Amino acid sequence: MEASSATTMALRVSSSSSSSSSSSFFSISPNHKPNSLPFKFSTFRPPQPTLLKSLKCIQTPPSNSNPLKQPLKNPRSASPLSCSALTLSSSQTTELVPCKLQTLISEFQALSEPIDRVKRLLHYATLLPPFNDSDRVDSNRVMGCTAQVWLEAKMDKEGKMRFSADSDSEITKGFCSCLVSVLDGASPDEVLMVKTDDLSSLNVGLPGAQRSRVNTWHNVLVSMQKKTKALVAEQQGRPPFEPFPSLVITADGIHAKGSFAEAQARYLFPDESKVEELVNVLKEKKIGIVAHFYMDPEVQGILTAAQKHWPHIHISDSLVMADSAVNMAKAGCEFITVLGVDFMSENVRAILDQAGFEKVGVYRMSNERIGCSLADAASSPSYMSYLEAASRSPNSLHVVYINTSLETKAYAHELVPTITCTSSNVVQTILQAFVQVPDANIWYGPDSYMGANIRELLQQMTKMTDEEIAEIHPEHNRDSIRSLLPRLHYFQDGTCIVHHLFGNEVVDRIKEMYCDAYLTAHFEVPGEMFSLAMEAKRRGMGVVGSTQNILDFIKQRIQEALDRNVNEHLQFVLGTESGMVTSIVAAVRGLLGSARSGGAEINVEIVFPVSSESVTTSSNASPGLNSVKVGDVILPVIPGVASGEGCSINGGCASCPYMKMNSLSSLLKVCHHLPDETNFALSAYEAGRFKLQTPNGKSVADVGCEPILHMRHFQASKKLPEKLISHILHPSGNGSSSVLN
């Protein structure tokens, strides 16, 4: 399309009234000849300035004399809506894009045969103007597309947006051509008001492995909008948002941007003498280590290096830590050191006892309490009141987050039948519970953000088709999801202090600067961040889940890029605790290192969201350190984070102060003093057994482990155990009151 301020468009197409056609998909025959089109297209020609008229998207009756009209296979599905003989003036800003988009939607919906839609899309590919070779650079690449896609955006003298695009795939080129035909020449406001959901009515898709190409609609649109925002800010003289700190990982090394990122990177190459010291003492005394992903970067760097020399070191989320400890005990470890918060060491101690390893010692990394805001919330009087309300409701099930103390699980289980969950299995646990007990009342806690996000996710499911819902859980449909929502309750006064930091300001900056990046978010983040990540997930650009889900998503996207074997810059926003970066960097370097001989240059950038209140200016930055060049992408080195943590009530670079109590010096102290035969040096570090009893006179350890065992049964069989179902339906003995300490 020529870059003029006004364009004449002469098209007449009928729209289909069939709502089902908008969700159908087509396939391409290998024998198909893309040039054999059953219709002709008009070309776009600039009008004479004196003939400009105001655009109106009007309804007109179909004209049989129109040479561009394509007869429908099913005439009854046609409606008379069309945008006919349109002349667009530069003053028109409110109706141009909606009319063009409606024309495009009508155009594809009018074609009932899949092969005709393919032909139409391929023809659009031929209409895309040539792309300048000088614009075919990494900074113009669109992330998240199966094929290579380049997008260039400029603003003309009249303030209208001018877009050009190209791809190495004809199908993808057709997608780009459609979007360019709609948005080229539009005002910035018009470009920004289009939503990805507005494209859902386009009757174009691909089945199976090729269905990911449909994300091109969304990802190219998001890139158009990002470039538009940047150009508007430049025109208005507004400084753009400062970029977040990040680490850029290549096959050749790591580049840190900002002092926070530098602090994270500093320990990715640990002191070899410290690694050797740790390995020697672990081997000598048969000590295993289980550590959470959120460890201090110094500790994680040492542990990751030590893993190469001693197999009994495991870094994971909280669920797997106890399982790993049991495996280490089976392999002959006499002591287990736990790097995490106190409820994690409690769980390790209890699970080892359940597995028959009472003689294996379990040690924490501090002589002080290592707390957790979520675990504390579940030990509060308000949570007890919440559970007492649950105990008075019929067929109640308490779904409690694994990140709570054993004492909480025990006391809760005596009040209400209880099963633990993780951020990766909570949705499936709830859905399965409603299948096995259709009239159940489910009470989730204590994480308020996760509870709200679960409800929001289920609300979104009510808008899906039954087939889409079946992919999430085969025994549910829209009716069942609607019916269960009133009986899903969640505690509203418990948050993780880490994930609480991903608030409005951080979300606004992500929308402005990283809307085209891959977005990862833990299930515990606030609703604004959750909604943003869910939108990205719908177009293949995001993940919402556990720490392990986040790591797996990043690894999968990098592997896909390696398989494509073309130069790429992948950018991931890390919506969880910053300690995750050590495991991510190790995984990324492993993937990139194994593929170095492949030829393609893959750069992976891990972005740490941080609020402006946590950023300081750099007074002594060297002029030579203002940017880092990776390929042809210029990455600015930005000021770092005040106090080195980056925590703020307004946003991210979330770093858990409790987890940081697990220091390298504490780990070495504990290891060197083992075995503690005098029971003096390490008595405050030992994870003791629960000697308390529940209000019903049972062992806290025994009752507290039962909800965990119920979850393990669910993970193995995909069904809640019959013992738990019987407890829900016949809650004898429940209803007694107690007070949590």
Full DSSP string of 55-122:
----B----TT-TTPPPPSSGGGEESB---SEE--TT--SSHHHHHHHHHHHHHHT--SHHHHHHHHH
The single-letter DSSP state of residue 323 is: H
User: Residue for token digits 């987890």?
Assistant: 659
Q: Tell me whether the CATH fold assigned to 271-370+663-673 matches the one assigned to 497-607.
A: yes
| Per-domain residue ranges of the chain | 97-236, 271-370+663-673, 373-495+692-729, 497-607
- For residue 128, what are the contacts with CB-CB under 8 A and spacing of at least 6? 165, 166, 173, 176, 177, 180
Q: What is the pLDDT of residue 377?
A: 82
For the packed helices 426-436 and 700-717, what is the interaxial angle rounded to 10 degrees? 90
How many C-beta atoms lie closer than 10 Å to residue 538's C-beta?
15
**Strand 361-363 relative to strand 335-339, pairing:** parallel
Question: Could you give the C-alpha distances from 233 to 186, 230, 527, 635, in angstroms and in order?
Answer: 17, 5, 28, 19
Q: Is the sign of the CA dihedral 228, 234, 238, 242 positive or negative?
A: positive
User: Residue for token digits 């174009």?
Assistant: 204
Q: How far apart are CA 625 and CA 648, in angstroms?
A: 27
Q: How far apart are CA 260 and CA 646, in angstroms?
A: 8
Residues in the chain, pLDDT under 50: 1-93, 205-212, 497-502, 611-654, 733-741
Q: What is the pLDDT of residue 578?
A: 65
Q: What is the pLDDT of residue 450?
A: 84
SS3 content of the chain, % helix, strand, coil (to 5): 45, 15, 40
Q: What is the pLDDT of residue 340?
A: 87
- For residue 648, what are the contacts with CB-CB under 8 A and spacing of at least 6? 501, 610, 611, 613, 614
Q: What is the pLDDT of residue 575?
A: 78
Which architecture does CATH list for 497-607? 3-Layer(aba) Sandwich (3.40)
| DSSP helix/strand/coil, 241 | coil
**Which CATH code for domain 97-236?**
3.90.1010.10
| DSSP helix/strand/coil, 165 | strand
Whether residue 647 contacts residue 501, with contact meaning beta carbons closer than 8 Å, is answered with: yes
Instruction: Give strand pairing partners of 250.
Output: 253
Q: List the catalytic residues.
A: 145
Taking alpha carbons only, the member of 117, 133, 142 closest to residue 207 is: 117
Cα atoms found within 13 Å of the Cα of residue 96, Cβ hemisphere only: 27
The single-letter DSSP state of residue 152 is: E
Q: What is the pLDDT of residue 596?
A: 61
Q: Phi and psi of 168, rounded to 5°?
A: -90, 5
User: Residue for token digits 């939607």?
Assistant: 105
**Which CATH code for domain 271-370+663-673?**
3.40.50.10800
Residue 427, H or E segment: helix 426-436
User: Residue for token digits 């105990």?
Assistant: 391
Q: Convert 151-215 into a string of H (helix), E (strand) and C (coil).
A: EEEEECCCCCEEEEEEECCHHHHHHHHHHHHHHCCCCHHHHHHCCHHHHCCCCCCCCHHHHHHHH
pLDDT digits (tens, 9 = 90+) for 84-107: 334 444 444 456 788 888 888 888
Q: Global pTM?
A: 0.62
